[in-house]
Structure 1
């Protein structure tokens, strides 16, 4: 008994040492130290969990940050994978897509991408309460996975990369504004044809 307990404790120490997190999101070493965070659903569970993980990872999440992560849209669909006996549904696949953008100064678009996750859960027509709990667990696990994957993507960004993306976005915006101004000027300088007068009979 003592040997088994020591073995379990030893495995737990080894797993924690290699960064394993049991059903959680853990913390992340981030080059970005501050960011603004918003979502279409300001009080949604995904953005709430995202803010918590970011703050636990040492990121200062506040509205005055130079860059903003916006969780633009989160769509959930589900489909039947298989049927059990008597026509009851056996398995559902839960598919969730999270669209997000990163905005820079003057709300210029720097990054636009999405994260997609899938989960399969069992639906038992004879146990609706248990099936509802299965679905809730699948949604919770989906949110955790999306946050984990988002944090991994954020880890790959550095302030210098964001600054470079900002410069590119500013140059693009400036070029588009110049092209629009030139088009408007050309239109204004083009003489307008007078309406044709029809001689009176």
Structure 2
């Protein structure tokens, strides 16, 4: 028994040394230590899970942080994959697409992208309660995977990349502002024609 316990402990140490961690656990090393987080659905499960995982990874979530993660839109679709006997639905596929933005200083958009996760669950017409539970579990799994993928995306952003994105966004905003000012100036300097008077008959 002691040997078996030692073997299990040894395997656990080896796996953790290799960077292995159980799915849905652990923390992530991120380039930033503070972040603003918002979502269209402020109290939704996805943004709640995102906040918890960021905080457990040592990120201070607060308004006014240098960078802001915006979970702009989350859309779910469902389709039937196969039918069982007697026309009963056999398999459903649930797909969730999460669109997100990362904003920098002065709320400038740095990048926009999306994540997509699909899960399949079995629907049994003779066991509606069990089928509903399976559908609920599939959606929970989708949200967990979306949050984990989002963390991996954030983990790939280095301080140098964030600085470069900020500089690019500032240059773009400056160019757009200059173009708008030039257009307004040109319009102001263009002589306006007086309305043509039509002689009365």
The TM-score, its normalising length taken from structure 2, stands at 0.91
Match of 2:177 in 1: 177
Shift of 1:157: 0.8
Match of 2:134 in 1: 134
Structure 2 stretches lacking a partner, 5+ long: none
Q: Which moved more, 1:101-110 or 1:158-167?
A: 158-167
Shift of 1:135: 0.7
Q: In structure 2, what is the Cα distance between the partners aligned to 1:72 and 1:47?
A: 11
Q: How does 1:71-82 map to 2 (within 5 A)?
A: 71-82=71-82
1:149–1:186 Cα change, 3 Å: same
Q: Which moved more, 1:18-27 or 1:42-51?
A: 18-27
Q: Is the 8 A contact 1:25 1:148 kept in 2?
A: no
Q: In structure 1, what is the Cα distance between the partners aligned to 2:87 and 2:3?
A: 49
Match of 1:193 in 2: 193
Q: How does 1:149-168 map to 2 (within 5 A)?
A: 149-168=149-168
Shift of 1:58: 1.4
**What does the per-residue CA deviation read over 1:117-167, in whole Å, with 9 as the maximum and x for residues that have no partner?**
100111111111111111111111111111111111111112232122112
Q: Is the 8 A contact 1:25 1:147 kept in 2?
A: no
Q: Is the 8 A contact 1:50 1:147 kept in 2?
A: yes
Measured on the aligned residues, the alpha-carbon RMSD in Å equals 1.9
Structure 1 stretches lacking a partner, 5+ long: none
1:7–1:121 Cα change, 3 Å: farther
1:22–1:137 Cα change, 3 Å: farther
Aligned residues: 201
Q: Which runs of 4+ in 1 moved over 2 A?
A: 1-23
Q: In structure 1, what is the Cα distance between the partners aligned to 2:6 and 2:127?
A: 39
Q: In structure 1, what is the Cα distance between the partners aligned to 2:93 and 2:83?
A: 12
Shift of 1:15: 3.7
**What does the per-residue CA deviation read over 1:1-57, in whole Å, with 9 as the maximum and x for residues that have no partner?**
887776665554544443333341421122221111111111111111111111111
The TM-score, its normalising length taken from structure 1, stands at 0.91
